[in-house]
Structure 1
Amino acid sequence: MSIRRAVTEDALAMAEIAYEAYAAYLPRLGGQRPAPMDDDYRVLAEAAETWIIESGSGEVCGFLVLDGDLLKNLAVRPSWQGRGIGRRLLALAEDRVRSSGGHLIRLYTNEAMVENQRLYERAGYVETRRGHEDGFARVFYEKRLR
């Protein structure tokens, strides 16, 4: 596995991963598409701090989008889930925030995505609040970085 900055040529793979990763939640969300399913990954690859993780054969397995101290998106292709890729991407996001002088990282997830909530809590994130934003019921988390 290798991690590198995303480039615009990775946009299609990132969009596919977002669709695959979030599609399982559509029934829980009453068919409402999570925002990452509709993001423009070409724009994000150019304008945001976006990273991908690749398998040894070059398959893009997952990605993250970081905006300052806000982890905006972390998605792993379902066929690669359960192998620690999400944890590796979380660690990268934390390292990036730390290296820019930050002491806190924030993220949010949909209230219906309980699997994500468990991952974040196991990784040391603390729920700070729940609320509705942009039509979604969200759970907000943060983690103090050392």
Structure 2
Amino acid sequence: MITIRTRMAADNEQLAAIWLRSVRATHHFLKEEDIARLYPQVLNDYLPAVNVWVAADPTGELCGFIGLDGNKVEMLFIDDERRGEGMGKALLAKAEAMYGELLLDVNEQNPQALAFYQQYGFVVIGRSELDGQGKPFPLLHMRLAAR
């Protein structure tokens, strides 16, 4: 049974560690120096800037999280060893229940994430050559219509 709750400031170190393991396992287009540059931003800037919901297993261990800015999914990361257990879907369902229509950007170079979002029902509605930091990591803009 997965429990979903709001983020507490005390969760930030664990969530940043989940982000790190997930990114290393799925974002093969990033170099280690890119990841090292992003890590403190995730920990200190990105997590506090959005509405974060965390997924915990029955023992209370944090296994993943979703960060929302209104109805836009800014972050969705599942601990590498916990992928495939339904936590990503549960977190998206929580966001969908709150907002109906959802938007997100996914790195074009992350085919696993793209396939996951498409399987959930998101469709591509646009593309950008650069990511939000102006780096040459193309983004696909996606939308999930209210169901």
Q: Fold conserved (TM > 0.5)? A: yes
Residue 41 of structure 1: how far off its partner (Å): 3.8
* Structure 2, gaps ≥5 residues long: none
Q: For residue 126 of structure 2, what is the aligned residue in structure 1?
A: 129
Q: Secondary structure of the residue that 1:141 maps to in structure 2? A: strand
How far did 1:24 drift? 2.1
1:89 and 2:86 aligned: no
Partner of 1:73: 75
Which is worse superposed, 3-12 or 27-36?
Answer: 27-36
The alpha-carbon distance between structure 1 residues 29 and 43, as it changes in their structure 2 partners (threshold 3 A), is: closer
Change (3 A) 1:127 1:50: same
Q: Is residue 18–residue 36 contact of structure 1 (8 Å, CA) maintained in 2?
A: no
Q: 1:120 to 1:22 in 2, by over 3 A?
A: same
Distance 1:140 1:72 in 2: 11
Cross-structure match for 1:8: 9
Structure with the larger strand share: 1
> Structure 1 residues 81 and 34 mapped into 2: Cα distance closer, same or farther (>3 Å)?
farther
Q: For the residues of structure 2 that align with 1:41 and 1:74, how far apart are their CA atoms?
A: 14
2:29 is matched with 28
Q: SS at 2:98's partner residue?
A: helix
**Partner of 2:117 in structure 1?**
120
Give 2:53's aligned residue.
51
Moved over 4 A (4+): 42-47
Larger relative helix fraction: 2
Once the two structures are overlaid, the 10-residue window that deviates more, 29-38 or 125-134, is 29-38
Report the Cα distance in structure 2 between the residues aligned to 1:27 and 1:4, rounded to whole angstroms.
30
Residues paired across the two proteins, number: 141
Which region of structure 1 is more displaced relative to structure 2, 39-48 or 109-118? 39-48
Which 5+ residue runs of structure 1 have no aligned equivalent? 99-103
Percentage of matched positions with identical amino acids: 25
The amino acid that maps onto 1:15 is A
Question: CA deviation digits over 1:3-24, x for unaligned, max 9?
Answer: 1000100001100000000012
**Over the residues paired in the alignment, what is the CA RMSD in angstroms?**
2.1
